[in-house]
Amino acid sequence: MRTITVLGATGSIGQNTLDVIARHPDKYRVFAITGHANLEELARLAVQCSPRYIVLSDPQAYSAFSALLSKTNCHSEVLVGAQALDDVCSAPEVDTVMSAIVGAAGLLPTLAAVRAGKRVLLANKESLVMSGELFMNAVIEHKAELLPIDSEHNAIFQCLPHDFQYGNLAHSGIAKILLTGSGGPFRILPNESFDAITPDQACAHPNWTMGRKISVDSASMMNKGLEFIEAKWLFGLHENDIEVVLHPQSTIHSMVQYVDGSVIAQMGNPDMRTPIAYGLSFPERISSGVDSLDFSSLADFSFSKPEPSRYPNLYLAMQACEEGQAATTAINAANEVAVEAFLQGQIKFTDIAKVNEQVLQQSDLIELTSIVQVLEHDAEARSLAQQLVRKLN
């Protein structure tokens, strides 16, 4: 029996995680779920999975949430605040933590799980983008088991040989990691129409149903840029080891190319319950509720290179990856501010790349040797991005 904390339970990944868990009551029990704003959904999930604890990251939500919960038959204990988030990740009863809070807010609780040596199912890519080397050092130091949930990284993980040594592609005869991406909803939109893109259009991904921030990132391909950085840290890669390939059908979730010419791909319907189930059950396999691929209905299977003029954010993130930790922390923070401003109708879709580029240019490339420094650098980049947003507004 595995005992699990689900950070960000009310989100798209969180709900998919609870869906897979509910299919296997003999294997998994929920210790804690956490949520931020969607209190009705959090109460509904609590009734469904009866966790020991429910954590509200926003302490001000306590009375409204308690009133909601009192109308149910759920007797979970309600905790609030940042320390409670850390505590339900590091509690001795817990062996697995699903890290599915969106954005930089996910870093500290995920690190708490890492430092407590848990199995960490990493959906929150932003925490690795912000603090890559420090995060991976903590994984090694505390003997945590880090398993990628992002579909591409989960696919790469599945295509790597069992004797893969972190950062040593030659040892396993690997030539390249092929990171696939669909190109999002605007892959064939004329470039001159990009200024008029609305938040709802950007959030309507052709293949995946996801939270709004990652949906906008997928439309701008910043998501692939963040994933490029994530892959570097997860597998110990050099920038030249990774190639981004457009694959609009999202059937292949990423590939590993070997020196003998073989390419191993992981395929499946675009449904996050597959990587979630693999993370929960690794090294075994469990059913996830995802339909099998129907090859007779796969009409098309195409691949191309992402155009820099269409996807400037992808190339900015790859540039930041080469520049190092301070640059990736800064662009991640800038992007969070810019995407939120776009979703609030304050800036245009095309302004997201302008904010990201300027923050990247203006941020100091200092060495970040502690998480405190990472958070300070994140805060500086956020305030710079907010100034730029005000100018563009």
Q: Which residues pair with residue 262 across a beta bridge?
A: none
Among 214, 221, 321, 353, binds ligand NAD (CB under 6 A): 214
β pairing state of 28-35 and 2-7: parallel
Q: Is 268 left (phi over 0), alpha (psi -120 to 50) or beta?
A: left
Which residues does 99 contact at the CB level (< 8 Å), separation at least 6?
Answer: 7, 8, 106, 109, 110, 113, 120, 121, 122, 123, 124, 127, 149
Q: Does 150 bind Mg ion (CB under 5 A)?
A: yes
Cα–Cα distance for residue pair 348/15, rounded to 1 Å: 30
Span interacting with ligand NAD, options 183-191, 209-217, 276-284, 315-323, rule CB under 6 A:
209-217
- Does 57 interact with ligand NAD (rule: CB under 6 A)? yes
In the list 132, 148, 181, 211, the residue contacting ligand NAD (rule: CB under 6 A) is 211
- If binding is defined by CB under 5 A, does position 378 make contact with Mg ion? no
Provide the H-helix boundaries in the chain.
Answer: 12-22, 39-49, 62-70, 82-90, 107-115, 125-141, 151-159, 199-203, 212-220, 222-235, 273-281, 312-323, 325-343, 349-362, 371-392
Is 17 a binding residue for ligand NAD by CB under 6 A? The answer is: no
Q: Which residues, 115 to 134, sit near ligand NAD by CB under 6 A?
A: 123-126
Q: Which stretch binds Mg ion (CB under 5 A): 18-26, 90-98, 150-158, 250-258?
A: 150-158
- What is the contact mask toward ligand NAD in residues 94 to 113, using x (rule: CB under 6 A)? ------xxx--x--------
Min dist. Cβ of residue 253 to Mg ion (A): 8
210 binding ligand NAD? (CB under 6 A)? yes
d(C-alpha 300, C-alpha 247), whole Å: 10
Binding partner of residue 102 among Mg ion, ligand NAD, none, CB under 5 to 8 Å per kind? ligand NAD
- Distance of closest approach, residue 9 Cβ to ligand NAD, in angstroms: 6
Q: Cα separations (Å) of 82 from 79, 93, 112?
A: 10, 19, 11
Given phi > 0 = left and psi -120 to 50 = alpha, else beta, which region is 360?
A: alpha
Contact in structure between 180 and 255 (CB atoms under 8 Å): yes
Instruction: Tell me whether residue 335 or residue 363 sits nearer to ligand NAD (CB atom).
Output: 335
Sole binder of ligand NAD in the list 4, 5, 14, 61 (CB under 6 A) = 14
Report in angstroms how near the CB of residue 154 gets to Mg ion at its nearest: 9
Q: Tell me how far, at minimum, the Cβ of 120 lies from ligand NAD, in Å.
A: 13
Q: According to the binding rule CB under 6 A, does residue 150 interact with ligand NAD?
A: yes
| 230 interacts with Mg ion by CB under 5 A | no
Cβ proximity of 263 and 269 under 8 Å: no
- DSSP assigned state of 260: T
User: Which of 69, 372, 13, 375 lies closest to 211 in space, CA to CA?
Assistant: 13
10 near ligand NAD (CB under 6 A): yes
What is the rounded distance in angstroms from the CA atom of residue 201 to the CA atom of residue 187? Answer: 13
Question: Binding residue for ligand NAD (CB under 6 A) from 13, 43, 318, 389?
Answer: 13
Both tokens of 225, joined, read 């840029």
Q: 329 is in the binding site of which of ligand NAD, Mg ion, none (Cβ under 5 to 8 A by kind)?
A: none
* Residue 294 burial (10 A CB sphere; 0-12, 13-18, 19+): exposed
Residues of span 18-47 touching ligand NAD by CB under 6 A: 35-38
**Residues 267-286 interacting with ligand NAD (rule: CB under 6 A):** 272
Q: What type of residue sits at position 336?
A: E
Q: Would you count residue 317 as binding ligand NAD (CB under 6 A)?
A: no
- What is the nearest approach in angstroms of Mg ion to the Cβ of residue 151? 5
User: Binding residues for Mg ion, how many (CB under 5 A)?
Assistant: 3
Q: Is 217 in the site for Mg ion (CB under 5 A)?
A: no
**Nearest distance from C-beta of residue 313 to Mg ion, angstroms:** 15
SS3 335: helix
Site residues (CB under 6 A) for ligand NAD?
8-14, 35-38, 57, 100-102, 105, 123-126, 150, 208, 210-211, 213-214, 272
Site residues (CB under 5 A) for Mg ion?
150-152
